[in-house]
A and B are shown apart, each in its own frame.
Chain A
Amino acid sequence: MIEQIREKAKELLASGEVKVVIGYENGGLPETTRPVFITSPDEVDRLVWNKYCYANLATFLWRKEVSSLGKPAIVAKGCDVKAIVVLIQESQIKREDVVILGVTCTGVGDPPLSKCPICDVNTPREYDCLFGEEIPPKTDINKFADVDEFEKKSPEERWEFWEEQLSKCVKCYACRQVCPMCYCEICIADKNQPQWIETSSHTRGNYHWNLVRAWHLAGRCVDCLECERVCPVDIPLSLVNRRLAKSVKARFGYEPGYDTEAPPPFTDFKPQDPEEFIK
């Protein structure tokens, strides 16, 4: 499979159709990979594809350092393609401005990441060329099993859990930096007039930051799990992300990352939206 990807990358770069290929290369340590930006056809042999290709490279598509190189081609798993779809929906990139080299994937990580067993996009839903055997999407999966389980706890238990988790946060903002959806030029966490989110990493400010971070991803997060992977203190960020995904699905019947034409749920409304909580 990697031979075909390299061949295609070489062809795209040589013909000048794309200026850069965003992919994975072997990392400095065994069993790791890191993002690589190939700009010359001679370098395509650096590209690799294996189960350690965790990173969601979609986050590089809108970054100025990368977009200034010219039109990109991107190696993308099904979950990464979901992120690209949301970026297209939100007009951050145009579909015709990116060549998607879709790879079919049966799960990354060793053992597989928690997102992989509940993945229904083993074959990317949007691509220009596909590498690997097509895998039919799973149908009998409950994406929110752990969310449902957590909701069975009492409010006090939930509060205690999050207080402990969020007290660990050091506000390194790695979750934001790695997120393909966090493309605001000035993040609310960086604004200081007025200062909405306190900068020091005490629990109160951590609550504000983590609630707002999760909230700003509501109906947008494609659960690529990158935030949780990079978190240096292992806060289960995807749990809150997925609670909001569940809420958006239940309330508005919407799941992000599947349809480039669908309006994002919080830019849209229906007169009959649920309002059971409003007096």
Chain B
Amino acid sequence: MSDETKTEDKPAAAEKEWQPRIIAFVCNWCTYAGADLAGTSRMVYEPHVRIIKLPCSGRIDVSFIIKAFEQGADGVMVSGCHPGDCHYTAGNYHARRRFGGFRDLLEFCGFDMRRVVFSWVSAAEGKKWADLVNEAVAKIRELGPFKEYQKLLAEDIWRKEETNSDRETG
């Protein structure tokens, strides 16, 4: 929540540049470990990604992606183990089928597919993870906020206030 007592800060807040918000759904065994490696190797990458760890890419329901957009995300990343490397043998194979179909559905409904990034990142690919995040952030910075979806939020009158303050502090 923004500090409403400091009214003199308002011009500063208005100048504050918009930054992308990216939600990343990653699997515990590969991509999370890969992101961890990026961190422990002290690689510097864009801080605008919020990582949500799940047991497996097979656990990532399509509703997670929709919910992320609903709550104001500008982009979503989904990442798991490379084919053949799944900790649960086949979770990522099932995920791959699912995301292939769901991606087609989103595209059909007019979503800009540059906002949704699917990838395989292993525990050894800290560099690949950092690059993917940088790439996604650069792309979404170019595209700007996901206005189309956020407009759906704004149309919802009883949430309007909450949404606006969310965006400012986000």
**Interface set of A (CB-CB < 8 Å, partner B):** 147, 150-151, 155-163, 188, 196-197, 202-204, 207-208, 211-212, 214-215, 218-219, 240, 243-244, 246-248, 251-252, 265-266, 268-271, 273-275, 277-279
List B residues 101-149 near A (Cβ within 8 Å).
Answer: 101-113, 117-120, 132, 148-149
Contact B93 A271, beta carbon cutoff 8 Å: yes
Q: Which residue of A196, A251, A273 is within 8 Å of B93 (Cβ)?
A: A273
Q: Which residue from chain B places its CB closest to the CB of A243 in the assembled complex?
A: B108
Known: A207-B152, A275-B83, A279-B119. A158 touches B66 (CB 8 A): no
> How far apart are the CA atoms of A190 and B41 in the complex, in Å?
46
Q: A-B pairs with the 6 shortest C-beta distances?
A: A159-B110, A158-B110, A269-B93, A247-B104, A204-B152, A279-B119
Q: Which residue of A163, A248, A279 is within 8 Å of B132 (Cβ)?
A: A279
Contact B62 A269, beta carbon cutoff 8 Å: no
**A-B pair number, CB within 8 angstroms:** 121
Contact A277 B108, beta carbon cutoff 8 Å: no
Collect the chain A residues with CB atoms within 8 Å of residue B113's CB. Answer: 277
Collect the chain A residues with CB atoms within 8 Å of residue B93's CB. Answer: 269-271, 273
Q: Does B153 sit at the interface, judged by CB under 8 A?
A: yes
Collect the chain A residues with CB atoms within 8 Å of residue B62's CB. Answer: 211-212, 215
CB distance from A100 to the nearest CB of B (A): 30
Contact A273 B100, beta carbon cutoff 8 Å: yes
Collect the chain B residues with CB atoms within 8 Å of residue A269's CB. Answer: 90, 93-94, 96-97
Known: A160-B110, A273-B93. A266 touches B98 (CB 8 A): yes
Collect the chain B residues with CB atoms within 8 Å of residue A270's CB. Answer: 93
Contact B105 A215, beta carbon cutoff 8 Å: yes
Q: Does B15 sit at the interface, judged by CB under 8 A?
A: no
> How far apart are the CA atoms of A203 and B148 in the complex, in Å?
11
CB distance from A254 to the nearest CB of B (A): 10
CB distance from B156 to the nearest CB of A (A): 5
CB distance from B1 to the nearest CB of A (A): 22
CB distance from A247 to the nearest CB of B (A): 4
Collect the chain B residues with CB atoms within 8 Å of residue A243's CB. Answer: 104-105, 108
Contact B108 A278, beta carbon cutoff 8 Å: no
The main secondary structure of chain A at its interface with chain B is helix
> How far apart are the CA atoms of A131 and B148 in the complex, in Å?
52
Collect the chain B residues with CB atoms within 8 Å of residue A196's CB. Answer: 63, 67
CB distance from B83 to the nearest CB of A (A): 6
List B residues 148-169 near A (Cβ within 8 Å).
Answer: 148-149, 152-153, 155-156
Collect the chain A residues with CB atoms within 8 Å of residue B148's CB. Answer: 159, 163
Contact B66 A218, beta carbon cutoff 8 Å: no
> How far apart are the CA atoms of A277 and B21 in the complex, in Å?
22
Contact B155 A188, beta carbon cutoff 8 Å: no
Contact A204 B97, beta carbon cutoff 8 Å: no
Q: Which residue of B63, B100, B120 is within 8 Å of A274 (Cβ)?
A: B100
Q: Does B84 sit at the interface, judged by CB under 8 A?
A: yes
Collect the chain B residues with CB atoms within 8 Å of residue A157's CB. Answer: 110
CB distance from A52 to the nearest CB of B (A): 32
Q: Which residue of A151, A211, A265, A277 is within 8 Å of B118 (Cβ)?
A: A277
Contact A211 B66, beta carbon cutoff 8 Å: yes
Collect the chain A residues with CB atoms within 8 Å of residue B46's CB. Answer: none
CB distance from A62 to the nearest CB of B (A): 24
> How far apart are the CA atoms of A215 and B149 in the complex, in Å?
19
List B residues 56-104 near A (Cβ within 8 Å).
Answer: 62-63, 66-67, 70, 83-84, 90, 93-94, 96-104
Contact A240 B108, beta carbon cutoff 8 Å: yes
Q: Which of B66, B83, B102 has the most CB of A within 10 A?
A: B66
Q: Which residue from chain A places its CB closest to the CB of B121 in the assembled complex?
A: A279
Contact B100 A277, beta carbon cutoff 8 Å: yes
CB distance from A184 to the nearest CB of B (A): 14
> How far apart are the CA atoms of A213 and B61 in the complex, in Å?
13
